[in-house]
A and B are shown apart, each in its own frame.
Chain A
Amino acid sequence: MATHNYDYDVLVLGGGPGGYVAAIRAAQLGLKTAVVERENLGGVCLNWGCIPTKALIHNAEVLETLHDAADFGFGFENLTVDFSKAVSRSRGIVDRQTKGVAFLMKKNKIDVINGHGVFVNSHSIRVGGSEYAEVKEERTVSAANIILATGARAASLPGVEIDGDRVIQYRDALVLENLPKKLVVVGSGAIGMEFSYVYNTYGVDVTIVEMMETVLPLEDAEVCAEVEKSFKKAGIRLLTGTRTEQVEKTDAGVTVTVKNVKSGETETIEADKVLMAIGIRPNTDKLGLHATGVDTDKRGFVGIDEVMRTNVAHIFAIGDCTGKLALAHVASAQGIVAAETIAGVETMPIPAERYRFLPRCTYCQPQVASMGLTEAQAKAEGHDIKVGKFPFMPNGKAQALGARTGFVKLISDAKYGEILGAHIVGPDATELLPEISLAQMMEITPAEIARNVHAHPTLGEVLMEAAHAVEGHPIHM
């Protein structure tokens, strides 16, 4: 791209779903690109998050169906359930996917530099060993532009150390050799809910402790209620509005002391393990960022503008380390914007107010997928809204699948019809969301969605009905 004598046009620090996608886009645009990765290509998403959890969850879904086998006319007298096989299947998928990313790097002529990168100055990074992998020979690489894509790690409660044995985090929960009898999950975001679903289905006694009033506290209240109903029915104990006061390791396991926020009543729960799923901390503390002048906030998240540029013009940041919306697809989208900005081609910036319209997914059963404002947020912000809601129950395809719960809820601006929020809970909710997110981005309204002919029978018909409902005339109701 340029007359400079740096080693690369673009150096991406971190090979997760943000970093490797940014690198591919940069390479496509003719920029000489390298990725520095201290562990495995694909990052947390591919190795320890999105992908392996989906494998375990599908195992749990199959198992759940087998539990209901009699409804389908199957009988299993000697059903054997081997959790370790679920884990090894999940790791096998990870292995194949990681190789896929390595292939993409090679195909796009992107150099992959193994090791942990630390800034020497704002254009140079020393790559050396870390707790993840040893590096035989340290080297320093330089680039005209740098993209920070270093991700984040699990946060814990103050004074509670994650030991990987009795107090565990998502990484440990993915590769448990033996199922615990009793598990306490602290936090009911996507990670807490997904693991709770898996372990509960595999017969573990699961208790979820959530400080906020509902599980999935960022979701629409009606969605939360629907998920809580299903979880309770499945035998999961939900302690919402409850603060985790203390976690003590004992000889037998752990003792978790919790306190109801309203009543002030405390309770101690004995369990084999406790899974910390309360949020993330950015991986920005061991990068030598001080050598670059890049600003972070008090928690360590890197500040960016709508094209992902930090306060230092040639350094960009994407993904979890920016603290915007810690989801893989958001990181990828940010990475594309950053690469296109560096190359100077047309891009579609992501201004701060855009993030809440990006998709949010939780893959427990029932699945939850949403974007935009909840009904409560829309009202609080003074929007004059129309709400359309339609359940999966009357839908023929949902019945054929044996799905009995869930609904689609659309919230639109009463005057011009702009979609302000979409909330889906139920079968394949995450697969249904893209139709709505595309409509929202292109400013298509429920009136057009309702008149977009949806194939029959499909789950997508529920979207169409919810759109009709916004207009006040659902057909099958």
Chain B
Amino acid sequence: MPTPIKMPQLGETVVEGTVSRWLKQPGERVERQEIVLEISTDKIDTEIPAPAAGTLLQITASEGQTVRVGTVIGYIGAPGEAVVTEQPSVGTEQSPVTSEQSPVPNPQSPIPNPQSPIPKPTGREFVSPVVARMAAEHSLDLDSITGTGLHGRVTKKDVENFLGTGDKGLETGKTTPSPQSPVPTLQSLTPMRRAIAEHMERSVRTSPHVMALFEADMTAVVRHREAHKAAYAAKGIDLTFTPYFVAAVAEALRANPQVNSSFTAEGLLLHPRIHVGIAVAVPDGLLVPVIRDADELNLAGLSRAVNDLAERARANKLSPDELQGGTFTVTNHGVSGSLLGTPIINQPQAGILGIGKIEKRPVVRSGGHPLLPSADDAIVIRPMCYLSFSFDHRILDGAEADGFVGRVVQVLENWG
């Protein structure tokens, strides 16, 4: 029996994947665990290894085709072996007969010749005169309209649907923009954009967000970094500030277990392990790869992990596992210049720590009374950094949250 290659489940929210490239063609020999194709989902692109050794017999999902998780996308078997594909859903509907009978293929059935559904091309090859006139009048970009005609042709009906007009012809006058005011163009959503939108909306709806703002004097960290940068570079590590923050967060999480938790209707789910996600900006969105057991890594280990994950996130080379299972998230938005952010929680976590830009600011240091004026007061210039902690008020109250961030600040200011 040939072994089917199936679209893998790449995360609990991932329901479908797109075949981006087959690295093997039917007839080619493949080894077990050899990469046979690449797929992309709304989160990541990944490679799929062969589930068995043999010959790639058949490809049932061609490049560009999007299929649901679990769908057979190809078969591996002995050379020349016949493939018996699974019954498509159209034939199995509500039939008592089907369920009672064993799924043994009919010996009379010919070797099937599955014609896989042709993916609808998004391009247009023909613009009908009627559509051309409508597009001209409404200054439409036809690329932004989904065509439902044969081979994706944009039909009059598609234009009408796009404009929100009915079958009875277009309303003239009022809705027609003048040539001086071109209509806004619609940029379609990438799967990642859609996923981010859905997640952010859900998070704001789910968690009552509260933010606590702290400031950290980064002198100790900057000094440490300057002292060790070269040595790290010699080991091939680019020492950035991020691992310092992750280390501080990991330690603070260990000290404040309720911050490393998730809210459920049954109770607070306290996570025994500390997996810190770091937000990484990628060309068309944002990814949050996870550093597992961050509390068990030293600075060098965290640096390597941060560098590696960020690099592979930008190159779109993360595996699905590396994007899952985070128990807390750090977003170093300061790298792009912002002093202060109000991050949205990465569900189902309890909080997210935003790190602002580190810059030299004048601060007061005093050997005297902490608040009353004193001769020992001095204005000094220090590398300062705002830490903004968004937390789920269902889980944490202000005092606990402050205790957590205070600990982070403490670790950072006393580094070394």
Residues of A within 8 A of B (CB): 1-7, 9, 29-30, 32, 121-124, 142, 144-145, 312-314, 341-346, 348, 353, 381-384, 413, 415-418, 442-445, 447-448
Contacts and interface: CB of A to CB of B under 8 A. Distances in A.
B114 interface: yes
Interface string B129-141: 1110110000000
Contact of B172 (A29, A381, A415): A415
Contacts, number: 128
A341 B116 CA distance: 11
A124 B116 contact: no
A218 to B, nearest CB: 21
Contacts of B102: 5
A344 B85 contact: no
Nearest to A4: B87
Contact of A145 (B91, B106, B120, B129): B91
A5 B129 contact: no
Nearest to B84: A3
A382 B168 contact: yes
A346 B94 CA distance: 25
Interface string B267-284: 000000000000000000
Contacts of A445: 129-130
B99 to A, nearest CB: 11
B150 A314 contact: no
Contact of A5 (B105, B117, B167): B105
A109 B78 CA distance: 28
A7 B112 CA distance: 14
B93 interface: yes
Contact of B112 (A1, A145, A342): A1
B95 A314 contact: yes
A353 B84 CA distance: 39
B86 A32 contact: no
Size category of the binding interface on chain B: 35 or more
A14 to B, nearest CB: 20
14 contacts: A1-B87, A3-B84, A3-B103, A4-B87, A5-B105, A30-B114, A145-B90, A313-B90, A314-B90, A344-B90, A413-B130, A413-B169, A417-B133, A418-B156
Nearest to B126: A442
Contact of A3 (B86, B94, B116, B118): B86
Contacts of B93: 312-314
B95 A122 contact: yes
Contacts of A314: 90-93, 95
**Chain A contact surface mostly:** loop
Contacts of B96: 121
B88 A1 contact: yes
Interface string B233-261: 00000000000000000000000000000
B91 A4 contact: yes
A144 B91 contact: yes
B179 interface: no
Contacts of B367: none
Closest 9 CB pairs of A and B: A30-B113, A443-B128, A313-B93, A144-B91, A2-B87, A443-B130, A346-B118, A345-B115, A418-B130
B90 A346 contact: no
Interface string B98-114: 10011111101110111
A381 B88 CA distance: 42
Contact of A6 (B106, B150, B168): B106
Contacts of A313: 90, 93-94
B109 A122 contact: no
Given A123-B95, A345-B115, 16 more contacts: A1-B114, A4-B106, A5-B103, A121-B97, A122-B97, A144-B91, A342-B91, A344-B115, A346-B117, A346-B151, A383-B169, A413-B169, A442-B126, A443-B128, A443-B130, A445-B130
A413 B165 CA distance: 16
Nearest to A412: B130
Contact of B103 (A4, A29, A348): A4
Contacts of A312: 93-94
A32 B94 CA distance: 22
A144 B113 CA distance: 16
Interface of B: 84-88, 90-98, 101-106, 108-110, 112-118, 120, 126, 128-131, 133-134, 149-151, 155-156, 167-170, 172
B127 to A, nearest CB: 9
Contacts of A416: 130, 133-134, 156, 169-170
A3 B87 contact: yes
B91 A346 contact: no
A345 B85 contact: no
Contacts of A121: 96-97
A381 B169 CA distance: 10
Contacts of B95: 122-123, 314
A340 B169 CA distance: 32
A16 to B, nearest CB: 23
- Residue among B114, B131, B155 having the largest count of chain A Cβ atoms under 10 Å: B114
B309 to A, nearest CB: 40
A29 B128 contact: no
Contacts of B126: 442
Nearest to B149: A348
A9 to B, nearest CB: 8
B134 A32 contact: no
A30 B112 contact: yes
Nearest to A5: B106
Contacts of B106: 4-7
A30 B86 contact: no
B7 to A, nearest CB: 16
B62 to A, nearest CB: 12
Nearest to A120: B97
B58 to A, nearest CB: 12
B167 A443 contact: no
Contacts of B109: 9, 32
A417 B101 CA distance: 57
B130 to A, nearest CB: 4
B87 A417 contact: no
Given A7-B108, A144-B91, A344-B117, A443 B86 contact: no
A7 B91 CA distance: 13
B86 to A, nearest CB: 5
A415 B133 CA distance: 9
A345 B116 CA distance: 6
A438 B129 CA distance: 13
Contacts of B86: 2-3
